[in-house]
Structure 1
Amino acid sequence: MNEWKHIFKLDPAKEISNEHLEMVCESGTDAVIVGGTDNVTLDGVMNLLMRIRRYSITCILEISTMEAIAPGFDYYFIPMVMNSKAKKWMMDMQHQAIKQYRELMNWNEIFFEGYCILNQDAKAFTHTNSFMPDDGDVTAYAYMAEHVFHLPIFYMEYSGKYGNPKLVEQVKSELESTLLFYGGGIENVSQAREIKEHADVIIVGNGIYTDIEEAIKTVKAVKEY
């Protein structure tokens, strides 16, 4: 994971053709995340996993609901929403998952993410009862992710909106061993390179569904960076 630069994120509640799925899985991206906010079901997750498994690509389930936890993924990412006003999204759901599944958990496959949702118009922002942090809040959360919680990943999630590259740079300066993931609004090569200048890994999601050709180009753009 330390060598990753690019990840595609697929929403199990959205339609993707076999042709476009093949383009994603054969693009040279480092991994594919399966995850979303609305209408994420076990059937949807399993169906998408089976389709992805036709290809030799690392596949990750980002857990947003316990009802859609499925076996067969290479890794499981568990978000801890640091700017949520509800303890549920920072600790309670994670506690319940460990209480219920810890005997089955392989800790070589499970990674907790310090999540910061930075688009107040995003469904995930409302769903997790988050507040809009200022730049100082965000850098402090990044510092906490590494030095307080010792999390392997800090994820700046702009959810379809292109974020602030200067803030990405500031956040990166707070991190040494924790990886900085960025997701949100990357639609072209220029944006991919601008964010990758500071983020360890960029995640491209919505672009898959709006302009697949441009989305695929972001892989080569950051791999050659």
Structure 2
Amino acid sequence: MVDSLINEWKHVFKLDPDKPLGDDALEALCVSGTDAVVVGGSSGVTFDNTIELLSRIRRFEVPCVLEVTSLDAVVPGFDLYFVPVALNSEDANYIVGHHQRALKRYGGILPWDGLLAEGYVILNPDCTAARISSACAPLDVKDVLAYARFADRLLRLPIVYLEYSGVFGDMSLVDETKKTLTQARLFYGGGIDGYEKAKAAAAAADTIVVGNVIYDSLDRALETVRAAKDSAAGDR
């Protein structure tokens, strides 16, 4: 049932608890027509700033997801919890180590029916996520497709996430990855800074994730919702 919920998502805003965001901007994002709001970040995420942002988002009806990147910032009350698995990390902690420790600590109380794993492939070697996780990047097409098949067919993960974080990626690679998947949904994030890139990304991926532009230009961020809807309408 959770898988069927995310299969309806075309557009997601990702909010970083460590970055300031005014109430008016938050309201505009939450009532924009986006399919969900994901809360998460690569650094500076704490229990306090996460629960503060959650309490503000809860004034609106938009689905709210916590992407768990810190054991100290696991906050109850989200609709769903995404657990990233950095498939191309050279540090086993980001594939299984941190996850095992999280289950040791929280395994008895986790809302398992609302928990989904994301198979991350980090493709920008200069981004914070790549540095923290020691990701092996960049990758060629065959490597990316192999990771996608591993996540989709062997691990049966519900989400494969191509993360370019800060730069706009290769949409032909994104499209080819989507066509490779048999049951996972393809999320794409990175460099979506307005209507045109959002529409291109939405045509290539199943779900686009828009983050950094929120803090640079709210108007351009809001345009990405319309772009995703226009792309979906064109697919019909």
Q: TM-score, normalised by structure 1?
A: 0.98
Alignment partners' CA distance in 2, 1:26 and 1:12: 19
Q: Which amino acid aligns with 1:102?
A: G
- What is the Cα deviation at residue 98 of structure 1? 1.5
Q: Which amino acid aligns with 1:41?
A: T
- What is the Cα deviation at residue 138 of structure 1? 0.7
- Does the 8 A contact of 2:40 with 2:69 survive in 1? yes
1:67 to 72, 90, 97: 72
Matches within 5 A, 1:89-108: 89-108=94-113
Unaligned runs of 5+ in 1: none
- What is the Cα deviation at residue 106 of structure 1? 2.0
1:41 to 42, 46, 50: 46
Q: Which amino acid aligns with 2:85?
A: M
Q: Which amino acid aligns with 1:134?
A: D
Partner of 2:118, secondary structure, is strand
Residue 181 (structure 1) aligned with residue 187 (structure 2)? yes
Q: Which amino acid aligns with 1:110?
A: L
Q: Could you say which residue in structure 2 is the equivalent of 1:58?
A: 63
Alignment partners' CA distance in 2, 1:131 and 1:121: 11
Matches within 5 A, 1:1-225: 1-132=6-137, 133-225=139-231
Alignment partners' CA distance in 2, 1:50 and 1:4: 23
- How many residue pairs match? The answer is 225
Alignment partners' CA distance in 1, 2:46 and 2:107: 22
Alignment partners' CA distance in 2, 1:215 and 1:44: 22
Partner of 1:140, secondary structure, is helix
Q: Over residues 163-214 of structure 1, what are the superposed CA-to-partner deviations in whole Å (9 max), with x where a residue is unaligned? A: 0001101111210210000001101111111111121100000010011101
- Does the 8 A contact of 2:83 with 2:117 survive in 1? yes
Q: Could you say which residue in structure 1 is the equivalent of 2:3?
A: none
Alignment partners' CA distance in 1, 2:198 and 2:225: 8
- Does the 8 A contact of 2:153 with 2:182 survive in 1? no
Partner of 2:181, secondary structure, is coil
Alignment partners' CA distance in 1, 2:174 and 2:71: 30
Alignment partners' CA distance in 2, 1:148 and 1:177: 11
Unaligned runs of 5+ in 2: 1-5, 232-236
Alignment partners' CA distance in 2, 1:174 and 1:96: 32
- What is the Cα deviation at residue 101 of structure 1? 1.2
Structure 1 range deviating more: 190-199 or 22-31: 190-199
Runs of 4+ in 1 over 4 A off after TM superposition: none
Alignment partners' CA distance in 1, 2:113 and 2:152: 19
Partner of 2:29, secondary structure, is helix
- Does the 8 A contact of 2:121 with 2:161 survive in 1? yes
Kindly, what percent of the aligned residue pairs are identical? 44
- What is the Cα deviation at residue 87 of structure 1? 0.5
Task: Tell me how large the CA RMSD over aligned residues is.
Answer: 0.8
- Does the 8 A contact of 2:199 with 2:230 survive in 1? no
Alignment partners' CA distance in 2, 1:204 and 1:19: 18
